[in-house]
Homo-oligomer: A and B are copies of this chain.
Amino acid sequence: MAVISSAADHEAQVEAILRAWGMPRAQAGETAEILGYADLHGIDSHGMSMLPPYDQWRREGRLDLAAVPKVVKESPVSALVDGGGGLGHVPGAFAMRLAVAKAGVSGIGVCVVRNTSHFGACGYYGLIAAEAGLIGMVSTSASGVRVAPTGGASARLGTDPWCFAAPGEPGRPFLLDMATTTVAFGRVRNKANEGLPTPSGWVLDAEGRPSVDPTDVSERGGLLTSLGGTAENSSHKGYGLAMMADILSAGLAGESFPSDPLHAKGERVGLAHFFLAMDPGLFREADAFKADVARFGDAMRATPPLDPGRPVLVAGDPERAMAVRRRVEGVPMGDGLRAQIRAIAEASGADWLL
């Protein structure tokens, strides 16, 4: 069962909880908007459902909810930003906007954020670049260590996601937002929250055996598979993409890797993010590039589908379609998650708006 609320109420509930936690108005508004973006676009694993783990970090005293991002090292094409030990949304948006500004002057900008934590859905930041007419790349280290390297029997990596974005038709950029595992942990957690099994190939139990029980991962130390699924079907590629996501974020920021024994267990959460923005005008007329990206996407959408009722989609299409629907119909919330969020609101003295 799911209760449905308007996107505005849903986002207001997130903001009310963040404010009750002591986050200043400006940061709470932006953080709620970014979490609301995820839920509105159907990325349920990275919206409201992140409040329980954020609440745990907060109660452990490991988040500075009033943190303000600061530039600590800079060049015409780059900046290292210190997130101040808070949530990652505000420094993430700041860093991508700074990368966009640098790309406006130098053609390319790369910003890395250190001393940060979870920043919601990668795609939000890639979209900032694409909406500015730029190519965007984003990666981040993840806090949960739930993935074994190919051929390994113990977890050493997170879901360590990437976003790749490119401007095309206005309002319809190419926007690939992907965990480097077969699926994001949040999708497994959401199955567990609702008591549903996971499809074959998503998870392994703690001994590395295939499983369809999401609680093997959420409760009993099981593992997510790297994209590819098995060694024979090239899970080393998903594993390699995860390492590179960590190298660009944690590596360039000087934060811990998921394989470090104390990763995300310190006084601060200690994650890191990577943002790149690049002007296609460095190479050719930008409008011609955008027209070509639009044409490329349309060629995909025009591919004869395997199932006549299910047209071929392009990265970004499913999320945009979901946002159109949820803006009208509202945002659903399963009973399991709803109970958790209600308890968090009550414990922190936030109004219940849903």
> Any chain B CB within 8 A of the CB of A166?
yes
- Name the contact of A307 in the complex, choosing from B151, B244, B288, B310 (C-beta under 8 A): B151
Residues of A166-189 whose CB lies within 8 A of B: 166, 174, 176, 178, 182-183
Binds B, one of A3-11, A14-22, A227-235: A227-235
Q: Which of A135, A148, A243, A254 has the most CB of B within 10 A?
A: A243
Number of copies: 2
Q: Are B233 and A201 in contact (CB under 8 A)?
A: yes
- What are the residues of chain B within 8 A of A148 when measuring CB–CB? 303
Residues of A151-175 whose CB lies within 8 A of B: 151-154, 156, 164, 166, 174
**A79 → B minimal CB distance (Å):** 9
| Alpha-carbon distance between A194 and B295 when the two chains are bound, in angstroms | 39
Q: Are A303 and B154 in contact (CB under 8 A)?
A: yes
| Alpha-carbon distance between A73 and B279 when the two chains are bound, in angstroms | 14
**A83 → B minimal CB distance (Å):** 14
Q: Are A107 and B244 in contact (CB under 8 A)?
A: no
Q: Are A166 and B283 in contact (CB under 8 A)?
A: no
> Any chain B CB within 8 A of the CB of A324?
no
> Any chain B CB within 8 A of the CB of A128?
no
Binds B, one of A32-40, A245-253, A331-339, A342-350: A245-253
20 contacts between A and B (CB under 8 A): A73-B282, A80-B284, A106-B106, A110-B282, A135-B247, A148-B303, A149-B312, A151-B306, A151-B313, A153-B303, A199-B233, A201-B233, A208-B306, A227-B238, A228-B228, A236-B313, A251-B280, A254-B289, A257-B292, A257-B296
* Inter-chain pairs besides A150-B313, A151-B310, A252-B283, 20 sampled, C-beta below 8 Å: A76-B106, A149-B314, A151-B306, A151-B313, A152-B300, A152-B305, A153-B304, A156-B299, A174-B243, A182-B228, A182-B234, A183-B234, A201-B232, A227-B228, A243-B314, A252-B280, A253-B284, A254-B288, A257-B299, A259-B300
Q: Which A residues are closer than 8 A to B by beta carbons?
A: 73, 75-78, 80, 106-108, 110, 112, 135, 148-154, 156, 164, 166, 174, 176, 178, 182-183, 199, 201-202, 208, 227-230, 232-234, 236-241, 243-244, 246-248, 250-254, 257, 259-260, 278, 280, 282-284, 288-289, 292-293, 295-297, 299-300, 303-307, 310-315
